[in-house]
Chain A
Amino acid sequence: MTSIQKPPVRHPSLQVNALGLTRRDYEGAMSTLCAGCGHDSVTAAIVQAFYELDVPPHRAAKMSGIGCSSKTTAYFMRQSHGFNSVHGRMPSVASGANAANRDLVYIGISGDGDSLSIGLGQLCHAIRRNVDMLYVLENNGVYGLTKGQFSASADVGSKSKRGEANVQRPIDPVLLALSLGATFVARGFSGDKTRLVPMLKAGLRHKGFALIDVISPCVSFNDHEGSTKSYRFTRENYHDVAPVDFVPLQREITAETEAGASVSVTMHDGSIVRFREVPSDYDPTDRDAAYAHVRARQERGEIVTGLLYIDEQSADMHETANTVARPLVDLPYESLCPGRAALDELMDEYR
């Protein structure tokens, strides 16, 4: 247990967001994960992101599958609806919910087992559908709840707690998403909240499917010497491609960044994602370049993090389906039923 039950009293000095809510209003139930679990840090970053974006908690829907990561939807935003579905199938439930009510803010939390093994198909097809949601993949390379089996993201040679080396090649969610045409692909580290929060905010504001692969070490089963998903290994080997700032629509940027080249991408709602100190050989709007960059650094044993690719032009699920702007759940029945006269007329065609 990493957090304690806190009294629901609000300290007068607590800062409030535009809705008059404090960060605490975005918290959830007490975490039941192991002390030091990377997932709890991700949860904290999510709380921060929603708080800073002024999202009314009850207008957010928290979707998940099964596993340690999927449990975390209970640990943030207690005033949001949550849906802990079945193993590996959250993307379809989120797609259906989004089809019915496109006005909610959807966040899906999954893990490497949930996403890359049992749910690989669902993840791929949610990407293809470009359903408007933020999909956070809390990646620790191991099955925690069943105590330490390798997952599909475990690197070749990475050692289990019992000392066995993994032999199967890993599935890298970032490369997978890039190759499938994902419109927002990022990788974060649970140990670097400063960089994770703006990534989450941008992902939430992205119109379409935003994938953030977060390396989130498992302290109980995969944080030992020889593991490539440990805190130590990740800290020593992660390289952020370019820090991002998320500038919401209402707060216009006034000053340009001091050093290094900066790339700005205007998002669908007018917000801006600004990449600072972008390397000269990198372009976060070029899918092939992003892919090549990640692959090249991977060959050198580096873990590339950051908002790696962003495409604000592609149509999301509703745009493709040409759905009305108003959520389908809000359409009055009268506008949906053609009525008796139409049926009568139609019947004449079946003669």
Chain B
Amino acid sequence: MINDFAFKIATVNGTGSASANGLLMSAIYRMGIPVSGKNVFPSNIQGLPTWYEIRVSKDGYTARPAHIDLVVALNPATYAKDVAAVRPGGWLLYDSSWPLDRALRRDDITILGVPFGTLCVEAFAGDRERTLMRNIAYTGALVALLDIDMDIVSEMIREQFAKKRALLDSNFRALHLGYDYTKKHYECPLPIRLERMNATRDKVLMDGNTAAALGCLYAGATVGAWYPITPATSLMEAFSGFCKRYRVDPETKQNNYCILQAEDELAAAGITIGAGWAGARSFTSTAGPGISLMGEFIGLAYYTEIPGVFFDIQRTGPSTGMPTRTQQADLLSIAYLSHGDTKHIALFPSSPGECFYMAVTAFDLSERFQTPVFVVSDLDIGMNDWMVPRLTWDDGYRPDRGKVLDAEALEKVQRFSRYLDVDGDGIAARSLPGVHAKGAYFVRGSGHDKHAAYTEDAAEYQEVVDRLARKLKTAEEALPAPEIHQRKGMPSSVGLVALGGTHAAMLEACDALARDGIDVDYMRIKAFPFGGAVRQFLDSHETLFVVEQNRDAQLRSLLAIETGLPRDRMTALLDYGGLPLTADFVTAEVARHLEVRVA
């Protein structure tokens, strides 16, 4: 039980518990122990129940835990739910300032009460401070119970409040209130406890939206347009923060970027496209409802061949759905977003680290193929802190601007035809406004021929849309190839397919299945449209499971549409309640379908 357990903290949102939970995560991380945290929060500002799940795994598993060893119950409103969440044989730490209903008590768990509320009322003055310090008090109790390194916690508090002397003292007092009481009344540490490791040295704790924003910064994006929406807001806010730090001209103190908060997602898409047309690397970040609104503009960008990067931080739909819960349910709508025949490039990062690199790739692909590119993340990746390898950068990187004719090249051409496929790859050269009179052409969402002239002629119209299809075909093989995991030299007839943020759970499930004697191959798809490697994996596996987080098996549908493989060749394993996937779900479902009893 050392360095291998999970605990969950139940609080009320808006009471300052988030920073205490972050502190706990970081402290464990600084002890060199692999850790992951999942914030299960309400779509609300203050007063509703919220949970934070922390998993510690010496083996480096970071997926959401299926079982909770210890629940820290600080919200009387959810006591019933929280007591029930403890695994048999586990522990419950609750705030004994409020009595725990006898009926809720369980015989199969250990119940520890610490009067955090009363302790803080006695030690501090004023409601606000008492509420805030209660969080640090439970942190102190956990330091004692789990054997978290007190020096590290103290150092972090000192870092955080270095400039706020009064707060620093309060925090230390609160920390020791919880720590001392727990030490005095209970046997510490619990059997579930921590021991220093050295497994996080090359890693960082980062959320995907921050990483994606960094990717945009490094890719050279200069125009960002957005409309606030959970869970995508923090992406543009992070970009804004990085820009203030790295993109202010040292001499003039003026900005080498322009971020526009638009009136809605339609305008955010329009700004992105306008800037892309003018030649800037531009992007927007949004979630499902924004994607729905952007549909018309996406069709325009596809048809007129204008680059732009669109981050979709997926949340639970349909409609407003559950804005603070995760899902992978925008796959079908993104693949063919907008009316008419359209198809779009989409990248599926599986972690914050990949959000960074794929953001850069997205800009390159978007300019190279002159088409909108979607980076399809989700709330779990975007807003939770993940432990990922330190991000690195190759200073030799230069943006792939694609086929752009400069003034010199335009001067030489006889006649510039915007949509003429010279190279046979479906990609026509573009010109940027203001560069040269010969490069001037008319962008129109209406029917156009290869010279960009208006047309209602069937053959001329088809020539252009057929080339667009060819262009997307060319793109297939330029997109990130799927990642295939196979047991050493042991190809299996069972293939698992997934994409995005479920990767950590999938890897863990593969290991667990192997331990139970079920060897499976696993393919993580990284991009749409699918290339040949995806088809090959499907063809070479007799039994296929498509694991995804939506009700209607959208990935399976896309695979069937795009590869022609019959839907019934693939079994969909669907988890769509809004929480990050657990490995247990996958192992249990696979075993059930294979009719194998899992130990």
Q: Determine if B223 and A104 form an interchain contact, defined as CB atoms under 8 angstroms apart.
A: no
A84-106 contacts to B (CB < 8 Å): 84-86, 89, 91-101, 103-104
The docked-state distance in angstroms from the alpha carbon of A335 to that of B247 is: 8
The docked-state distance in angstroms from the alpha carbon of A94 to that of B274 is: 6
Cβ of A4 within 8 Å of any chain B Cβ, yes or no, is no
The docked-state distance in angstroms from the alpha carbon of A74 to that of B444 is: 10
Say whether, besides A92-B267, A97-B433, A343-B393, A82 and B282 are in contact (CB < 8 Å): no
The docked-state distance in angstroms from the alpha carbon of A228 to that of B482 is: 64
Q: Determine if A328 and B258 form an interchain contact, defined as CB atoms under 8 angstroms apart.
A: yes
B357-413 contacts to A (CB < 8 Å): 390-395, 397-399
Cβ of A169 within 8 Å of any chain B Cβ, yes or no, is no
Q: Determine if B254 and A83 form an interchain contact, defined as CB atoms under 8 angstroms apart.
A: no
Q: How far is the CB of B400 from chain A (nearest CB, A)?
A: 11
A 317-351 to B, binary, CB cutoff 8 A, 1 in contact else 0: 11001111100110101011111101110110011
Q: Determine if A93 and B274 form an interchain contact, defined as CB atoms under 8 angstroms apart.
A: yes
Cβ of A122 within 8 Å of any chain B Cβ, yes or no, is yes
B side interface size, CB within 8 A:
71
Q: Determine if A74 and B442 form an interchain contact, defined as CB atoms under 8 angstroms apart.
A: yes
Cβ of A121 within 8 Å of any chain B Cβ, yes or no, is yes
Cβ of A239 within 8 Å of any chain B Cβ, yes or no, is no
Q: Determine if B432 and A340 form an interchain contact, defined as CB atoms under 8 angstroms apart.
A: no
Q: What chain A residues lie within 8 Å of B552 (beta carbons)?
A: none
A 71-89 to B, binary, CB cutoff 8 A, 1 in contact else 0: 0011000111111111001
The docked-state distance in angstroms from the alpha carbon of A86 to that of B223 is: 21
Q: How far is the CB of A259 from chain B (nearest CB, A)?
A: 43
Q: How far is the CB of B404 from chain A (nearest CB, A)?
A: 11
The docked-state distance in angstroms from the alpha carbon of A188 to that of B205 is: 60
Q: Determine if A97 and B252 form an interchain contact, defined as CB atoms under 8 angstroms apart.
A: no
Cβ of B529 within 8 Å of any chain A Cβ, yes or no, is no
Q: Determine if A89 and B266 form an interchain contact, defined as CB atoms under 8 angstroms apart.
A: yes
**B270, B432, B442, B445: which contacts A82 (Cβ < 8 A)?**
B442
Among residues of A, the one whose C-beta sits closest to the C-beta of B262 is: A92
The docked-state distance in angstroms from the alpha carbon of A317 to that of B432 is: 22
Q: What chain B residues lie within 8 Å of A104 (beta carbons)?
A: 278, 433-434
B 261-284 to A, binary, CB cutoff 8 A, 1 in contact else 0: 011101111111111111110100
Q: Determine if B270 and A89 form an interchain contact, defined as CB atoms under 8 angstroms apart.
A: yes
Say whether, besides A92-B267, A101-B278, A318-B258, A84 and B446 are in contact (CB < 8 Å): yes
**A79, A85, A318, A335: which contacts B270 (Cβ < 8 A)?**
A85
Q: How far is the CB of B420 from chain A (nearest CB, A)?
A: 17
Q: What chain A residues lie within 8 Å of B214 (beta carbons)?
A: 343, 346
Which of A92, A324, A338 has the most C-beta atoms of chain B within 10 angstroms of its own C-beta? A92
Among residues of A, the one whose C-beta sits closest to the C-beta of B217 is: A338
B 238-265 to A, binary, CB cutoff 8 A, 1 in contact else 0: 0000000011010011111111101110
Q: How far is the CB of A206 from chain B (nearest CB, A)?
A: 20
Cβ of B419 within 8 Å of any chain A Cβ, yes or no, is no
Q: Determine if B256 and A324 form an interchain contact, defined as CB atoms under 8 angstroms apart.
A: yes
Cβ of A49 within 8 Å of any chain B Cβ, yes or no, is no
- At the interface with chain B, which of A53-61, A159-167, A230-238, A240-248? A53-61
Cβ of B29 within 8 Å of any chain A Cβ, yes or no, is yes
**B223, B247, B269, B440: which contacts A79 (Cβ < 8 A)?**
B440
Q: Determine if A329 and B204 form an interchain contact, defined as CB atoms under 8 angstroms apart.
A: no
Q: Determine if B445 and A86 form an interchain contact, defined as CB atoms under 8 angstroms apart.
A: yes
B 431-463 to A, binary, CB cutoff 8 A, 1 in contact else 0: 011111101111111100000001000000000
Q: Determine if A84 and B443 form an interchain contact, defined as CB atoms under 8 angstroms apart.
A: yes
B8-33 contacts to A (CB < 8 Å): 26, 29-30
Q: What chain B residues lie within 8 Å of A324 (beta carbons)?
A: 249, 252, 254-256
Cβ of B181 within 8 Å of any chain A Cβ, yes or no, is no
For chains A and B in complex, what number of residue pairs have CB atoms within 8 angstroms? 213
The docked-state distance in angstroms from the alpha carbon of A350 to that of B30 is: 11
Q: What chain B residues lie within 8 Å of A24 (beta carbons)?
A: none
Cβ of A23 within 8 Å of any chain B Cβ, yes or no, is no
Q: Determine if B297 and A89 form an interchain contact, defined as CB atoms under 8 angstroms apart.
A: yes
Q: Determine if B263 and A84 form an interchain contact, defined as CB atoms under 8 angstroms apart.
A: no
Interface size class of A (residues with CB under 8 A): 35 or more
Q: Determine if B393 and A92 form an interchain contact, defined as CB atoms under 8 angstroms apart.
A: no
Say whether, besides A85-B270, A333-B399, A322 and B255 are in contact (CB < 8 Å): yes
Q: Determine if B272 and A336 form an interchain contact, defined as CB atoms under 8 angstroms apart.
A: no
Q: How far is the CB of B173 from chain A (nearest CB, A)?
A: 26
Q: What chain A residues lie within 8 Å of B399 (beta carbons)?
A: 333
Q: How far is the CB of B268 from chain A (nearest CB, A)?
A: 8
Q: Determine if B282 and A122 form an interchain contact, defined as CB atoms under 8 angstroms apart.
A: no
Q: Determine if A97 and B274 form an interchain contact, defined as CB atoms under 8 angstroms apart.
A: yes
The docked-state distance in angstroms from the alpha carbon of A58 to that of B249 is: 29
Q: How far is the CB of B399 from chain A (nearest CB, A)?
A: 6
Q: Determine if B300 and A96 form an interchain contact, defined as CB atoms under 8 angstroms apart.
A: no
Q: How far is the CB of B443 from chain A (nearest CB, A)?
A: 4
Q: Determine if B437 and A329 form an interchain contact, defined as CB atoms under 8 angstroms apart.
A: no
The docked-state distance in angstroms from the alpha carbon of A328 to that of B205 is: 32
The secondary structure that dominates the B interface is mixed
Cβ of B218 within 8 Å of any chain A Cβ, yes or no, is yes
Say whether, besides A84-B442, A100-B279, A350 and B204 are in contact (CB < 8 Å): yes
Cβ of B129 within 8 Å of any chain A Cβ, yes or no, is no
Say whether, besides A86-B296, A343-B392, A78 and B271 are in contact (CB < 8 Å): no
Q: Determine if B205 and A350 form an interchain contact, defined as CB atoms under 8 angstroms apart.
A: yes
Q: Determine if B260 and A93 form an interchain contact, defined as CB atoms under 8 angstroms apart.
A: no
Q: How far is the CB of B278 from chain A (nearest CB, A)?
A: 4
B135-182 contacts to A (CB < 8 Å): none
Which of B29, B267, B273 has the most C-beta atoms of chain A within 10 angstroms of its own C-beta? B267
Q: How far is the CB of A122 from chain B (nearest CB, A)?
A: 6
**B29, B218, B252, B454: which contacts A338 (Cβ < 8 A)?**
B218
Q: Determine if B440 and A97 form an interchain contact, defined as CB atoms under 8 angstroms apart.
A: no
Q: What chain B residues lie within 8 Å of A97 (beta carbons)?
A: 274-275, 277-278, 433
**A121, A321, A337: which contacts B263 (Cβ < 8 A)?**
A121
**A56, A100, A347: which contacts B282 (Cβ < 8 A)?**
A100
Q: Determine if B254 and A78 form an interchain contact, defined as CB atoms under 8 angstroms apart.
A: no
Among residues of A, the one whose C-beta sits closest to the C-beta of B257 is: A328
**B220, B258, B297: which contacts A336 (Cβ < 8 A)?**
B220
Cβ of A268 within 8 Å of any chain B Cβ, yes or no, is no
Q: Determine if B206 and A85 form an interchain contact, defined as CB atoms under 8 angstroms apart.
A: no
Q: Determine if A100 and B391 form an interchain contact, defined as CB atoms under 8 angstroms apart.
A: no
The docked-state distance in angstroms from the alpha carbon of A190 to that of B21 is: 66
**A61, A81, A92: which contacts B271 (Cβ < 8 A)?**
A92
Cβ of A297 within 8 Å of any chain B Cβ, yes or no, is no
Which of A81, A121, A124, A347 has the most C-beta atoms of chain B within 10 angstroms of its own C-beta? A81
Q: Determine if A323 and B204 form an interchain contact, defined as CB atoms under 8 angstroms apart.
A: no
Say whether, besides A99-B258, A339-B393, A58 and B436 are in contact (CB < 8 Å): yes
Q: What chain A residues lie within 8 Å of B233 (beta carbons)?
A: none
Cβ of B553 within 8 Å of any chain A Cβ, yes or no, is no
Cβ of B70 within 8 Å of any chain A Cβ, yes or no, is no
A 162-198 to B, binary, CB cutoff 8 A, 1 in contact else 0: 0000000000000000000000000000000000000
Q: How far is the CB of A66 from chain B (nearest CB, A)?
A: 8
**A78, A96, A129, A323: which contacts B273 (Cβ < 8 A)?**
A96
Among residues of A, the one whose C-beta sits closest to the C-beta of B431 is: A81
Among residues of B, the one whose C-beta sits closest to the C-beta of A339 is: B395
A20-37 contacts to B (CB < 8 Å): none
The docked-state distance in angstroms from the alpha carbon of A178 to that of B258 is: 26
Cβ of B479 within 8 Å of any chain A Cβ, yes or no, is no
B-to-A contact residues, CB < 8 Å: 26, 29-30, 204-206, 214, 217-218, 220, 222-223, 225, 246-247, 249, 252-260, 262-264, 266-280, 282, 296-297, 300, 390-395, 397-399, 432-437, 439-446, 454
A-B contact pairs, 14 of them (CB 8 A): A83-B277, A85-B300, A93-B277, A96-B270, A98-B278, A99-B282, A121-B267, A122-B270, A328-B256, A328-B258, A329-B222, A337-B220, A351-B204, A351-B205
Closest 7 CB pairs of A and B: A96-B274, A92-B270, A100-B280, A96-B271, A81-B433, A100-B278, A93-B274
Extra A-B contacts (14), CB below 8 Å, given A84-B444, A91-B267, A95-B270: A81-B441, A82-B443, A92-B269, A99-B260, A101-B280, A103-B434, A323-B255, A324-B252, A336-B220, A336-B222, A339-B395, A340-B393, A343-B393, A350-B205
